[in-house]
Structure 1
């Protein structure tokens, strides 16, 4: 840390109680530069360990994290205000992703032979994925461990060093994560944390030593991060907001669908990028489904079943969306504008909300949900896909074929069927969106490759007489033989 920032600090605060949880340094650009430089040195050593060396250390890190599960979950709860059960689940999911990345990196990224085709019969071809160097991770506050671990674990397993900038609202979780990692890898600063406000994140994105940025946050902030990365042509994987829809078919298990809708909308105070914000229900089962949702939502208690609204400004957004929906003819069957009472917001269920309202078009990020009646599944799908976001989605149906068709047709990166957000718990599945929900992927094989560069190598094993095609000594007969071969292989039309 540079001397320029040693005397400048900021506090992390429990949003439920206002109590100070911890005090952390405000790292400036000079401090970020120093962290990235030392990470660059560590990256060379870390990459040199190879897959087996990294695997052993990452699995040891996993064990240390598991041994400190209670401690980590308690800190998540303090910095976010979420119930300890939710914080525990978040930590468990982070552990399972770390395990998958460590164990599967060799298979996904390791060198393998690839076919060369008949024209390249004299060649041996290999493909492998090599480390980038230093990866910068800018994490969110709503899931301060699970979400950034989807980048950190996969970047480390791919052979990179990582400089992590946690949210200024949850810096302690990032600091503790780095401390636990150092217990398993004390030799070099392979995982470092820089703390601070937006300026610290901007410095990380703009640092020339960063080979890729993994960002999670709002679409507006992602655009600013991309602008900072542009100066150095630094690539970025961006996981932004969502406005996820749930479609309920007429043969769905309505009790299960309602339970999933309420949990998907209300858990973590609705502060989930892949949370359920809109529900489209076929007319024949709409009334019964709405009764199920209403009964469940009325039983949910803010401050008990979920925590506070973490960002004070978000309360204004929630209040505005609910007010706009009601002003345009919508009805509140549970809660209303007065449900927003910072730092908490009580559950809100809205019906008859026009599709052009902000409650349907914009990300609310609160414990609210709109429930709309539709005549057909085609209408449900059309309305689900009519927003600018495309992160996750959900389908409840008793028909396997129909549910798969709907899931595939949703313009999202992920879809869950007869469950909610279940794709996030499957480490082998990639996680990410389209449109204003961002681009690139974390998790799974795609997540490992996201933090590596493909390296293609071809090696000539022997020369083919009369086929010296890449030489100024090439003769017309060489080209003639090539044309005959290509015509034989590719010239026949299929009936």
Structure 2
């Protein structure tokens, strides 16, 4: 039976609604900032409690809209709560004013640095993880002292509305965090609305359009874009565990994960054993749209067509389907597909597939694995499996995140930042870096006593310049000489 996606919830918001939401957030911003870290923490903790209380209902909405099993939806919410708790608790420690050291020439000053909120942050969320992913921006922006206007994906608008309704219920604050629903026109309007920063998660193609719109007003942007993540397996790896990580990384959430395992490079010495484990695990999986299985439907019809085209291209160019193939696609339900012997310049290897597929390639050694992994224009996540050389292999590969002997665990640790490089975007969510992403650094000096050497004054004459010259040679020249001596030794 062919499965089709229900029509998305009608879109009611317009660019004019965006303007009103941003204006309301702007008015409320100063009040939210002046509350201070401790009061904001209390309100964010109340929000967390309300989200936890209503998690089952939010998970039902998420499953209905997006198609993932209820258990996966609940896990996503749990992860979001972990990060919300960390942001609320640690915002003051990370962003609060602190004293920093001065130098020999500025010893008469007290120097401090603090991180202040931008004001109003616009967040544009994705549909594949419509709670966990946007909360990495929404919660951290709020904890940093910003007000937020959140636009969820047009495919998961009710999930986004549920998140913000929970905030309103728990805090009694209705302008600090707002939800607007709509498609690309509403997202573009948010970028051009005068917000002070944009946090976006989505495809690289859409990210480029977001960045172009933000550039019109020099609005800074955080972009978490696409990925084509690899799993690298060395000869000394726990092969069964590596295969388990590969199958979960490729197939969970119907493969609709920016950090999904889409490419596997495995040492030829263990390639056959690894492949057998992968096929055994993948054959045991079944996708369906009735909530009875571990994999749900794919969300967007056009994404199914991308999956179809990637499989077709791989097979037409000599690739082999070890499991599944074009027959795995039934409407928007796609069964697991495992491909091998796929050319490295095929779409299934170079472009983001975003479906329950993986390619496996045996390599002669880790030098080849590193070279092939680094050849991608994407560099979001990475998984390395090796008992002895995991760190050494990972250090040779460009990626924003890496998990060694475990898949995507870096995203589960609240203290760690998450984000990409190259075509996978820039900026970070989560952890201290995620808090600082939604605040700007402000440096401050206070003069404690008059400077013995007036640096910034027209009173500085030839004698002072001569003294400065001697001090510079003594302090910095001596350091250079010492380094030279140590180098010769």
Aligned to 1:171: 157
Match of 2:325 in 1: 336
Do the aligned residues in 2 keep the contact of 1:222 with 1:238 (CA within 8 Å)? yes
Q: What CA deviation, in whole Å up to 9, does each residue of 1:458-485 have, x standing for no partner?
A: 11110133x1121111121111111111
Q: Distance in 2 between matches of 1:182 and 1:28?
A: 22
Question: 2:417 matched to which residue of 1?
Answer: 430
Describe how 1:312-391 pairs up with structure 2 within 5 A: 312-391=301-380
Change in CA separation of 1:51 and 1:16 when aligned onto 2, cut-off 3 Å: farther
Give the alignment of 1:216-255 within 5 angstroms. Answer: 216-255=201-240
Q: How do residues 384-463 of structure 1 correspond to structure 2 at under 5 angstroms?
A: 384-399=373-388, 402-463=389-450
What secondary structure is seen at the aligned counterpart in 1 of 2:105?
coil
Give the structure 1 partner of residue 470 of structure 2.
484
CA drift at 1:187: 3.7
Shift of 1:409: 2.1
| Counterpart for residue 11 of structure 1 | none
- State whether structure 2 residue 39 is matched by structure 1 residue 50: no
Aligned counterparts of 1:243 and 1:469: Cα–Cα separation in 2: 53
Instruction: State the alpha-carbon separation in 2 of the partners of residues 191 and 16 from structure 1.
Output: 36
TM-score by length of 2: 0.96
Q: 1-side partners of 2:225 and 2:182: how far apart? A: 21
Contact 1:24 1:171 in 2 (8 A): no
SS in 1 for 2:104: coil
CA displacement, residues 283-337 of structure 1 (integer Å, 9 cap, x when unaligned): 1101110111111111110111111111101111111111111111111110011
Q: Which runs of 5+ in 2 are unaligned?
A: none
Report the CA distance between 1:17 and its aligned residue: 6.3
Cα distance between partner residues in 2 of 1:377 and 1:256: 19
Residue 20 of structure 1: CA displacement?
Answer: 6.0
Pairwise mapping of residues 272-287 of structure 1 onto structure 2 (< 5 A)? 272-287=257-272
| Structure 1 residues 115 and 408: alpha-carbon distance in aligned structure 2, compared to 1, 3 A threshold | same
Deviation at residue 19 of structure 1 after TM alignment: 4.7
Aligned-residue offset at 1:184 = 2.1
2-structure distance, mates of 1:431, 1:244: 14
Deviation at 1:227, TM superposition (A): 1.3
Correspondent of 2:245 among 257, 260, 268: 260
Moved more, 180-189 or 346-355: 180-189
Structure 1 gaps of 5+ residues are 1-14
Which of the numbers 115, 128, 134 marks the counterpart of 2:114?
128
**Contact residue 3 and residue 331 of structure 2 kept, 8 A:** no
Give the TM-score normalised by the residue count of structure 1. 0.94
CA distance in 1, matches of 2:404, 2:5: 39
Q: CA separation in 2, counterparts of 1:26 and 1:416?
A: 41
> Is the CA contact (8 Å cut-off) linking 1:442 and 1:450 kept in structure 2?
yes
Shift of 1:132: 0.4
Deviation at 1:104, TM superposition (A): 0.6
Asked whether the 8 Å contact 1:280–1:380 carries over to 2, the reply is yes
Q: Which secondary structure state, in structure 2, belongs to the residue aligned with residue 284 of structure 1?
A: coil
Deviating above 4 A after TM superposition, structure 1's stretches of 4 or more consecutive aligned residues are 15-21
Distance 2:166 2:173 in 1: 13
Moved more, 151-160 or 221-230: 221-230
Aligned to 1:363, the other structure's residue is in SS state: coil
8 A Cα contact 1:350 1:370, kept in partner: yes
1:16 to 1:81, Cα distance in 2 relative to 1, 3 A: farther
CA contact (8 A) 1:26 1:200 kept: no
Q: How does 1:119-198 map to 2 (within 5 A)?
A: 119-198=105-184
2:189 paired residue number:
203
Q: Distance in 2 between matches of 1:408 and 1:133?
A: 38
Deviations 1:194-249 (A, max 9, x none): 011111111101112x0000011111111111111111110100001100000001
Q: CA RMSD in A?
A: 1.2
Q: Counterparts of 1:18 and 1:441 in 2: how far apart (Å)? A: 32
8 Å CA contact 1:16, 1:81 repeated in 2:
no
